[in-house]
Amino acid sequence: MVDPEVIKDIALYRKLAKERAGLCGRIEKFQELEKVEKEIARLEIIVKEAREEKEFLELVDSELGVLRKKYEDVCTELEEFLIEQDPRASKDVIIEIRAGTGGEEAALFAADLYRMYTHYADKFGFKVEIINSNPTPIGGFKEIIFSVEGKGAFRQFKFESGVHRVQRVPSTETSGRVHTSAVSVAVLPEAEEMEIEINPQELKIDVYRSTGAGGQSVNTTDSAVRITHLPSGIVVTCQDERSQIKNKAKAFKVLRARLLDKAQRDRESKIKQERRMQIGSGDRSEKIRTYNFPDRRVTDHRAGVTLYKIEEILEGDLGELIAHLAEAEKKLKLNKAE
């Protein structure tokens, strides 16, 4: 890091500084473990050889209990360092929710999921901003794309990629029959410009007049933007802003995230990594969770956990589900490390 050539390269310097900080954390935690081990050994000798009065030995035993608990805690923290750290963990994310099978009912549940995620984001003080949406007349979304900005956003939302299935009686159902619908969710870490190089000559950019439900939402200028990345065939549209410049900037943000996601998936497919297993696979074709309204239950099929508090979860109380998934992912990674 003190090499003048490295200092000149800001990107490389930041990368090395981040790596150094991670190494320092490991060393400090290991030194703390050694210190606790030595103190435990010293007190155990005192207990074994001491002829002091009973009250003193009780005091030593009490201190030993505290130190042994601390030893377990430090060991748990050190386990985290054995796990391959996800470099995307601290990134902002772009979340894409799309209604699948189930028609209008699926679109309504897409709106429910959007509200659930905004409430969950609020708990961490994250900023949520809609990038593009395709609403339905009765309050659902055929598609909604939004960003979540804040340190650790990807860490909190990464387990949400996949197919979310809902079982409930639709408001339009007169016979009271339970319907099953599905919504797909994609969680993409935001890509920095240096991570993805986009050749302007490989893009087709169209501008057009945005469409809306009428009234103030009708735009009288060609502010909507459609960007097509010709090599990959990825198409991104954005029309929620009245400014063409803002729509174009948001569309590029989504395009970079999708290209980074595609590159990551192609790389994982090529080397056949074990991350294609259940936890944290991010496979958007995989059914990951079922929301059953008649029984008030939510089942996550990856962690094998069922919670009977569907109302609280849909209001953003995802903490318990995320904790189960994080613990299952940790066990998989520890087994891999061993």
C-alpha to C-alpha distance for 225 and 250, rounded to whole angstroms: 9
Alpha-helix residue ranges (DSSP H) falling in 158-273 = 244-271
Q: How many CB atoms are closer than 10 A to CB 90?
A: 14
C-alpha to C-alpha distance for 298 and 37, rounded to whole angstroms: 43
Banded pLDDT at 221 (limits 50, 70, 90): low
Segment 14-32 mean pLDDT: 84
Q: Are 177 and 192 in contact (CB under 8 A)?
A: no
CATH number belonging to domain 200-270:
3.30.160.20
Segment 51-65 mean pLDDT: 80
Lowest average pLDDT, out of 30-44, 139-153, 269-283, 285-299, goes to: 269-283
Segment 278-286 mean pLDDT: 48
Question: What is the per-residue pLDDT across 180-217, written as a single tens digit (0 to 9) for each?
Answer: 999 999 998 887 665 677 888 888 988 887 765 444 44
Higher pLDDT, 276 or 148: 148
Fold: same for 93-192+280-337 and 200-270: no
The number of C-alpha atoms within 13 Å of 16 and in the hemisphere containing its C-beta is: 12
What is the pLDDT, as a whole number, of residue 52? 63
DSSP assignment of 168-227: E--TT-SS---EEEEEEEEEEEPPPTTTS---GGGEEEEEE----SSGGG--SS--EEEE
Q: How many CB atoms are closer than 10 A to CB 273?
A: 12
- Structural domain boundaries in the chain: 4-82, 93-192+280-337, 200-270
The DSSP element (H or E) to which 42 belongs, if any, is helix 10-49
Question: What is the per-residue pLDDT across 138-184, written as a single tens digit (0 to 9) for each?
Answer: 899 999 999 999 988 998 999 999 999 999 988 767 677 888 999 99
Q: Are 113 and 62 in contact (CB under 8 A)?
A: no
Residues in the chain: 338
Distance of CA 60 to CAs 37, 39, 40, 44, 55, Å? 15, 11, 10, 9, 9
For domain 93-192+280-337, give the fold.
Alpha-Beta Plaits (3.30.70)
Look at the pTM and tell me if it is higher than 0.95.
Answer: no
Q: Is pLDDT at 109 greater than 90 in this prediction?
A: yes
